[in-house]
């Protein structure tokens, strides 16, 4: 399906509308009842500004980071089935972050550990998955799946040997949970820089989607570009995991849907995916907070519950997936 | 002023322990069209990839426009040298115009967007490969031959002085084989470019190539004008089967006889 420029404009208009609407929804809804932001007073204002707003901001940021990282993984693999969760980046980030926390490495902040974990996984997966001279997408994907389950086992090990008091919190965080997510400006700055760098490289990403050989022939220094993508995707994933744990399916579903709506040109795809990823996670988190209120669900459970059936439907309809 | 587009000296290439060429001496001037012929798996693609700088030679030097291949910055090289790969696979859906437009990549600054002029170039290239009507169509909805011509359109948009083509006539019906090679021939002879193409059809090589390079295996090669080099005996030895030359007026036609 090829999208017309008019349709792309309409999609972007809708995405632009969806962002403030989802923000309004997430601020208004919650376990302490529906609060219109403009009617808030005293105590309700405190709930809005100190509880709901920071959490909403974290959801917006994490959603856009994961969606962008998903786009990058899909370019690397030349396969719309890739995302940082499936390939084990989120798992690696979680394990390293957990190790940092349990060992009490206070001199190394959690986002740094998560970034290192994601980067180690990226290099591991893409070096191990590398065939004769070129990556075969199946091999990398399989390597990623296996490495991801390896991280899963390590996580269970750390949890099983850890003390019981922190178990529930850690478990929630591992499933993807925004209730304690706070963004530290120190880490958002390099992340924002990486995002801008990726956006500036959009046309190169288009060329890389045609394959490493073709990209090289069209003048891209592919080795450097791949390392840029490795580092950027690991940073985005690491920061997202440090903020909210391993949330799956956002990096998979969002780019996939946006590809259908605005096409494969990354100059349109990246902003669309970032915007929709932000709204999507914010709405999912609002649902997670309110569906079984006052009980709260980890948002990762919800994204998986939405993501799995949606993904299966898309997969049935998608072409060009080998 | 050295008009040499490509110069290879003592070029030695191996795949594992198999020699592709041993001490190849090759010079390509503007207006020349060189055909590479040889049996399957003899290393035609490897030779083209080496000349395009995608892999290292085992020995010898390659110069493009008088400058050592490895000292060219990739983007500047891509403005002058292009290679039509044997296989193109599209991972993500795009329109034919978008695919053709990708050839402008090395000519645009990192932050520049394609202009209307670039878009006109892409449309013109699609017209040239008779895909003009297809500009809005998805690259997933193409036949093998159409997909091949789309890849060629990208190369035409890239507009290199030195065109390398790996089996450009793959998947094409006879009429499109001729029109595609006509296109390359015209660019080479009228615009002072040069082309090297791997071919399997000695007849097409006779029609279009000023020179041919035969690869026999074990590093043995023969380079010369196609008129001198393309003979019954040599082609039969090259492919290891009987190939006869039939005269049809001015044109000599190579025919494959069934071996019994």
Distance of residue A126 Cα from the nearest chain B Cα, in angstroms: 18
Confidence of residue A239 (pLDDT cuts 50, 70, 90): very high
Domains of chain B as residue ranges with CATH: 1-80+161-231 (3.40.50.300), 88-159 (no CATH)
Chain A contact residues (CB < 8 Å to B): 1-2, 74, 78-80, 200-201, 203-204, 206-207, 209-211, 213-214, 216-221, 259, 263-265, 267, 319-320
CA A100 remoteness from chain centre: 21
Q: Residue B140: name the closest of B86, B97, B91, B176 by CA.
A: B91
Confidence of residue A322 (pLDDT cuts 50, 70, 90): very low
User: Is pLDDT above 60 for A134?
Assistant: no
The answer to whether B140 contacts A319, with C-beta atoms less than 8 Å apart, is yes
Distance of residue B238 Cα from the nearest chain A Cα, in angstroms: 29
B-chain residues within 8 Å CB-CB of A220? 74-75, 105
* Integer Cα distance of A316 and B151 in angstroms: 28
The region of weakest confidence among A26-35, B118-127, B140-149, B194-203 is A26-35
* Integer Cα distance of B162 and B188 in angstroms: 9
CA A199, A140, A1: angle at the middle one, nearest 5?
55
Distance of residue B257 Cα from the nearest chain A Cα, in angstroms: 38
Q: Name the β-bridge partners of B35.
A: B197, B212
- Higher-confidence residue of A131 and B59: namely B59
User: Is pLDDT above 90 for A40?
Assistant: no
Listed in sequence order, the residues at least 6 apart from A283 whose beta carbon sits closer than 8 Å to its beta carbon are A22, A25, A26
- Torsion (CA) A142, B15, B224, B34 in degrees, nearest 10: 20
The answer to whether A219 contacts B54, with C-beta atoms less than 8 Å apart, is no
CA diameter of chain B: 63
Query: Across B147-257, where does the E strand assignment appear?
Result: 162-166, 194-198, 211-217, 220-225, 243-248, 251-256
pTM: 0.92
Q: Residue A143: name the closest of A116, A122, A157 by CA.
A: A122
The CATH homologous superfamily for domain A56-315 is: ABC transporter involved in vitamin B12 uptake, BtuC (1.10.3470.10)
Chain B residue with Cα closest to A321: B91
- Higher-confidence residue of A167 and A248: namely A248
A-chain residues within 8 Å CB-CB of B95? 2, 263
CA B74, B79, B80: angle at the middle one, nearest 5?
100
Chain A residue with Cα closest to B53: A217
Q: Residue B198: name the closest of B223, B215, B179 by CA.
A: B215
Distance of residue A77 Cα from the nearest chain B Cα, in angstroms: 9
Confidence of residue B32 (pLDDT cuts 50, 70, 90): very high
Structure tokens at A80: 């719309």
- Summarised one tens digit per residue, pLDDT across range A283-293 is 999 999 999 87
- Summarised one tens digit per residue, pLDDT across range A182-205 is 666 778 888 999 999 999 999 999
How far apart, in Å, are the Cα atoms of B25 and each of A71, A181, B120, B237?
46, 65, 40, 22
A-chain residues within 8 Å CB-CB of B53? 216
Chain B contact residues (CB < 8 Å to A): 49, 52-54, 74-79, 82-83, 85, 88-95, 98, 102-103, 105-106, 108, 110-111, 113, 136-138, 140, 158
In this prediction the ipTM stands at 0.93
CA B14 remoteness from chain centre: 20
The answer to whether B91 contacts A209, with C-beta atoms less than 8 Å apart, is yes
Size of interface A-B (CB pairs under 8 A): 85
Structure tokens at A306: 């939405």
A-chain residues within 8 Å CB-CB of B49? 213
The structure tokens 């290239």 sit at B125
Phi, psi for residue A70 in degrees, rounded to 5: -60, -45
Query: How much is the mean pLDDT over chain B?
Result: 93
What does the DSSP 8-state code read for residue B168?
A: T
User: Mind spelling out the 3-state secondary structure of A94-143?
Assistant: HHHHHHHHHHCCCCCCHHHHHHHHHHHHHHHHHHHCECCCCECHHHHHHH
Pairing of strands B81-84, B162-166: parallel
* Integer Cα distance of B100 and A161 in angstroms: 57
The answer to whether A207 contacts B105, with C-beta atoms less than 8 Å apart, is yes
Structure tokens at A280: 């999507």
Pairing of strands B220-225, B243-248: unpaired
* Integer Cα distance of A65 and B252 in angstroms: 64
For chain A, the domains span 56-315
User: Is pLDDT above 90 for A2?
Assistant: no
The region of weakest confidence among A82-86, B44-48, B213-217 is A82-86
What does the DSSP 8-state code read for residue A47?
A: I
The answer to whether B92 contacts A209, with C-beta atoms less than 8 Å apart, is yes
At residue B214, the 3 state secondary structure works out as strand
Phi, psi for residue B165 in degrees, rounded to 5: -130, 120
Select the residue of B78, B94, B111 nearest A219 (Cβ to Cβ): B78
The answer to whether B92 contacts A264, with C-beta atoms less than 8 Å apart, is yes
The answer to whether A210 contacts B158, with C-beta atoms less than 8 Å apart, is no
- Summarised one tens digit per residue, pLDDT across range B66-81 is 999 999 999 999 999 9
Phi, psi for residue A66 in degrees, rounded to 5: -65, -40
Distance of residue B3 Cα from the nearest chain A Cα, in angstroms: 23
* Integer Cα distance of A5 and A9 in angstroms: 6
- Summarised one tens digit per residue, pLDDT across range B162-190 is 999 999 999 999 999 999 999 999 999 99
Q: Which range in A163-167, B139-143, B155-159 is most confidently predicted, on average pLDDT?
A: B155-159
A-chain residues within 8 Å CB-CB of B91? 78-80, 209-211, 320
* Integer Cα distance of B256 and B250 in angstroms: 20
- Higher-confidence residue of A208 and B2: namely A208
Could you please report the per-residue DSSP string of B50-69? Answer: HHTTSS--SEEEEEETTEEG
The answer to whether B92 contacts A204, with C-beta atoms less than 8 Å apart, is no
């Amino acid at each position: 399906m090829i999208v017309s420029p008019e349709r792309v404009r309409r999609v972007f208009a809708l995405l632009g509308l969806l962002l403030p609407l989802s923000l309004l929804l997430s601020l208004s809804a919650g376990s302490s009842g529906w609060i219109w932001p403009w009617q808030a007073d005293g105590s309700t204002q405190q709930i809005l500004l100190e509880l709901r707003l920071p959490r909403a901001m974290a959801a917006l940021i994490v959603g856009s980071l994961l969606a962008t990282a998903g786009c990058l993984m899909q370019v690397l693999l030349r396969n719309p089935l890739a995302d940082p969760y499936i390939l084990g980046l989120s798992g690696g980030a979680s394990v390293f972050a957990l190790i940092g926390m349990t060992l009490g490495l206070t001199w190394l902040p959690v986002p740094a550990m998560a970034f290192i974990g994601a980067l180690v996984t990226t290099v591991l997966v893409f070096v191990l998955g590398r065939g004769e001279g070129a990556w075969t997408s199946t091999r990398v994907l399989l390597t990623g799946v296996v490495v991801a389950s390896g991280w899963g086992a390590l996580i269970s090990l750390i949890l099983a040997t850890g003390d019981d008091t922190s178990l529930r919190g850690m478990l929630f965080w591992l499933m993807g949970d925004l209730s304690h997510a706070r963004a530290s400006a120190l880490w958002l700055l390099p992340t924002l820089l990486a995002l801008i760098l990726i956006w500036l490289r959009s046309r190169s990403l288009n060329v890389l989607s045609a394959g490493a050989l073709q990209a090289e022939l069209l003048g891209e220094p592919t080795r450097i570009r791949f390392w840029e993508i490795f580092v950027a995707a690991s940073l985005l994933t690491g920061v997202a995991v440090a903020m909210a744990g391993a949330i799956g399916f956002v990096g998979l579903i969002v780019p996939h849907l946006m590809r259908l709506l605005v096409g494969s040109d990354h100059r349109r795809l990246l902003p669309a995916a970032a915007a929709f990823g932000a709204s999507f996670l914010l709405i999912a988190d609002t649902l997670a907070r309110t569906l079984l209120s006052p009980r709260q669900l980890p948002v990762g459970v919800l994204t998986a519950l939405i993501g799995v059936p949606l993904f299966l439907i898309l997969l049935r309809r998608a072409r060009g997936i080998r | 002023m050295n008009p040499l587009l490509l110069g290879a000296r003592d070029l030695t290439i191996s795949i594992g322990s198999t020699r592709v060429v041993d001490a190849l001496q090759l010079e390509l001037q503007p207006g020349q069209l060189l055909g590479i012929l040889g049996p399957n798996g003899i290393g035609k693609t490897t030779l083209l990839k080496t000349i395009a700088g995608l892999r290292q030679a085992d020995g010898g030097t390659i110069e493009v426009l008088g400058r050592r291949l490895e000292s060219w910055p990739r983007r500047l090289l891509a403005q002058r040298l292009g290679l039509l790969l044997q296989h193109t696979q599209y991972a993500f859906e795009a329109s034919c115009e978008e695919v053709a437009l990708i050839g402008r990549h090395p000519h645009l600054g990192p932050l520049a967007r394609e202009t209307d002029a670039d878009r006109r170039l892409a449309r013109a290239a699609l017209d040239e490969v008779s895909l003009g009507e297809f500009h809005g169509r998805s690259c997933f909805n193409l036949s093998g031959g159409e997909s091949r011509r789309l890849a060629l359109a990208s190369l035409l948009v890239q507009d290199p002085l030195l065109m390398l083509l790996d089996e450009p006539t793959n998947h094409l019906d006879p009429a499109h084989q001729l029109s595609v090679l006509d296109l390359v021939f015209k660019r080479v002879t009228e615009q002072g470019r040069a082309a090297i193409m791997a071919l399997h059809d000695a007849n097409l090589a006779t029609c279009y190539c000023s020179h041919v390079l035969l690869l026999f295996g074990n590093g043995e090669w023969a380079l010369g004008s196609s008129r001198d080099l393309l003979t019954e005996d040599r082609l039969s030895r090259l492919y290891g089967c009987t190939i006869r030359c039939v005269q049809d007026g001015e044109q000599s036609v190579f025919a494959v006889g069934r071996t019994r």
